[in-house]
Structure 1
Amino acid sequence: MKKSLFVSATAAAAVVLALAGCAKPPASSSGAPANTPAGGKTSAAAPAGGFKACMISDTGGFDDKSFNQTSYKGMEDAKKALGIQTASVESKAASDYATNIQSMVDAKCNVIVTVGYTLSDDTLAAAKKNPDIDFAIVDNYDPKYAEVKNLKGLQFNTAQSAFLGGYLAAAMTKTGKVGTFGGQKLSTVTIYMDGFAQGVQYYNQQQKKDVQVLGWDVAKQDGDFTNDFSNPSTGLTQAKNLISQGADVIFPVAGGAGEGALQAAKASSGKVNTIWVDTDGCVSAADYCPQIISSVYKGMDVAVQKVITDSKNGTFDPSPYVGTLQNQGTGLTGFHDWDSKVPADVKSQLKQLQSDIISGKIKITSKAQPTS
């Protein structure tokens, strides 16, 4: 794995306790199956000690090559570092969330981490009902969380990093058209699409070009969605649609369903490529690395490990966490197979853009950005 343009995986490990590291996703983060409550398979391990950290996935599962998988890695990293017990359960449908959270309460977990915006209501309800258990939710914060002192929202301003991804896509397209699609019309999805489109727009302004964005209209806040985060076939359909319109760089924001875009790119024999999201795609989806120019990451593993560590140490803080370019909670990974293909001047421009976003010189306008 080549050194990242902005943050290396090694550096991330060194700053875990400061909650300021680059996400380094796992090659695989699926747990071994054990008993099965309503939502799907459960895994459990008890290496040492009485403290137990637990996690519930959304419907994408822990092998989605995206946010569930990276969040799971954070729990595994905490287990290795702290010698704690862990348990997890994968959800198969939204109707499973409440039951799966309760199964972790019943398992006597000290801290429970839920993964994904769609678990918000059930996580809040469980936190209110179980004030002696620490809760955290990846990818969401709701003002209602302030009502309880045992629930922490882990958010990421991926509009900032997706801006870099959009600029890069615009710089690398040969057709003058790039595309994006989402899993569902949720703020945690559209924030990526907003940033991506704005990055393309900024490239056009700076370079006097006219690269088009397909699949997302910022003004209308509407675009292409799979309505699914787990089935690659739905992403393949969306990707083929964008390719048929001329897009040759695709930015899928659809969890495991986004793998369909990787499949489409691989089948194109080099004509179409991608920018991945949430995690370093060249690690989590290594077979598709030749088709991944770079990835827009969010350090969910680092944030999860930190909140578990704090819970074990008795220093849990319910104040919401927001990952940004400045604290390295989100960013752009290295270029891996594309390192020699991305022009030096583009790399330099991306570094300057990052500095300008951090300083406030460049304003990101997405309304989906975290405000807490």
Structure 2
Amino acid sequence: MNVPPTSTRTRRVAAATALVLAGGLTLASCASAPSDTTGSTAGSTAAANGFLPCIVSDQGGFNDQSFNQLGLQGITDAAKTLGVKHIDVQSASESDYAPNIASLIDQGCTTVVTMGYLLASATKEAAAANPDVHFIMVDDTSISAPNVKGVAWDTGQAGFLVGYASASYSKAGKVGTYGGAKIPPVTLYMDGFARGVEYYNAQKGADVQVIGWNPDTQEGQFTGNFSDINAAKVVSQGILDQGADIIVPVGGPIYQGAAQAIREATRPIALVGVDTDMYVSDPQYDDIWFTSIARDMPKSISEVIQASAGGTFDNTTYVGTLDNGGVLMSPFHDFASKVDPALQGELDTIKAGIIAGSITIETPSAP
């Protein structure tokens, strides 16, 4: 299940730089003119047909080194493959979503990627008003329309593995998680993580506690948005003060607040990333990244965009799972020598059980 860790820091930083460059094509706010990138148009059917893919971020922005940046990478990869331009526009707040989508349609965008559950209402309205435009709704599957394709990932599956591993590693017997907003794409991570801890307790006769989230009551701690790093630091500190020695912030750049709290702590604490392998994405924290609950967002988004360009777009929902490789648990990297030697075999068995259906993950947020 886990791939071998990156062999050198040079390769790790190079990979991270590639992600940062992909995320650098951003706007300060919706009031700024969108940017575009041009690839080779030689022999491009898509270019000849006027295909123009576009993307709008949520309020986390394209430089979040996580969710939005991965979406931008997906559209950048697709545009390069197709030999076409793309346009990206960044949202500073929720009030930007509808006007940003409208601005992209006004510029002739033929496929619009909308990043995140919070853009669902604006996407649904725009899709109804523009039936000839294809919309790719990331992290939401609620819209039923011929020109809207939902793209989601069952991150609870990978979160379950990480929860089990975290419970195994924790010396304090306490682990924590919190989210940016109480929405299904966020709580799905948290449910999977908490259920994985429960499974470890059941298998080992242990009593590892989860601070910050109760999967049974669906109540827990949130910063209220995906951009307030100071709020994330405060929430993180509260969880750490209760004794947790592993923490999972779910919500793009809010992990930076957790990392700051960890840096100021006087005891060892590990950090878990989400969306991508954060050890690669943000190597400044490579000494505290335990693992990540990752998904293949760039590949998935790029493939759906290319299908739209090729005339094979449909509104069937894409769901990434452990079985199709859409979600995964990242390597332990610097923690590989610190975990129980038997842990990897146990995780492989659990992964097989999840894929086979013999291990189920209770959550109301599964796509």
Q: Structure 1 length normalisation: TM-score?
A: 0.89
Is residue 2:349 matched to residue 1:349?
Answer: no
Q: In the alignment, what sits opposite 1:14?
A: none
Q: In the alignment, what sits opposite 2:226?
A: 229
Q: In the alignment, what sits opposite 2:123?
A: 123
Is residue 2:325 matched to residue 1:323?
Answer: no
Aligned residues: 349
1:263 Cα deviation after fit: 2.0
Q: In the alignment, what sits opposite 2:11?
A: none
Q: In the alignment, what sits opposite 2:217?
A: 220
Q: Deviations over 1:306-338 (max 9, x none)?
A: 111001111111111111111111110112222
Q: In the alignment, what sits opposite 1:293?
A: 290
Q: In the alignment, what sits opposite 1:43?
A: 35
Q: For 1:71, give the aligned amino acid.
A: G
Given candidates 252, 257, 262, the residue that maps to 1:260 is 257
Q: Deviations over 1:107-138 (max 9, x none)?
A: 11111000000000111111111111111011
In angstroms, what is the RMSD of aligned CA positions? 2.0
On the 8 A contact 1:5/1:333 being kept in 2, the answer is yes
1:73 Cα deviation after fit: 0.9
On the 8 A contact 2:154/2:327 being kept in 1, the answer is yes
1:269 Cα deviation after fit: 6.1
Q: In the alignment, what sits opposite 2:12?
A: none
Q: Deviations over 1:172-216 (max 9, x none)?
A: 111110000011110111111111111001001111111000000
On the 8 A contact 2:53/2:305 being kept in 1, the answer is yes
Q: In the alignment, what sits opposite 1:136?
A: 136
Q: For 2:38, give the aligned amino acid.
A: A
Given candidates 23, 34, 46, the residue that maps to 1:30 is 23
On the 8 A contact 1:228/1:234 being kept in 2, the answer is no
Query: How far apart in 1 are the matches of 2:344 and 2:26?
Result: 43
1:346 Cα deviation after fit: 0.7
Q: Which shows bigger deviation, 267-276 or 343-352? A: 267-276
| Shift in CA distance, 198/36, structure 1 to aligned 2, threshold 3 Å | closer
Query: How far apart in 2 are the matches of 1:25 and 1:208?
Result: 44
On the 8 A contact 2:5/2:333 being kept in 1, the answer is no
1:34 Cα deviation after fit: 6.6
Q: Unmatched 5+ residue regions in structure 1?
A: 10-23
The secondary structure found in structure 1 opposite 2:141 is coil
Query: How far apart in 2 are the matches of 1:51 and 1:335?
Result: 41
Is residue 2:80 matched to residue 1:85?
Answer: no
Sequence identity, in percent? 40
| Shift in CA distance, 229/117, structure 1 to aligned 2, threshold 3 Å | same
On the 8 A contact 1:182/1:253 being kept in 2, the answer is yes
Which structure 1 residue ranges, 4+ long, deviate > 6 Å from structure 2? none
Q: For 1:151, give the aligned amino acid.
A: V
Matches within 5 A, 1:361-372: 361-370=358-367
- Greater length-normalized contact order (CA 8 Å, ≥ 6 residues apart): 1
Q: Structure 2 length normalisation: TM-score?
A: 0.90
| Shift in CA distance, 347/310, structure 1 to aligned 2, threshold 3 Å | same
Query: How far apart in 2 are the matches of 1:366 and 1:137?
Result: 22
Is residue 2:36 matched to residue 1:65?
Answer: no
Query: How far apart in 2 are the matches of 1:5 and 1:27?
Result: 24
On the 8 A contact 1:120/1:137 being kept in 2, the answer is yes
The secondary structure found in structure 1 opposite 2:22 is coil
Is residue 2:89 matched to residue 1:106?
Answer: no
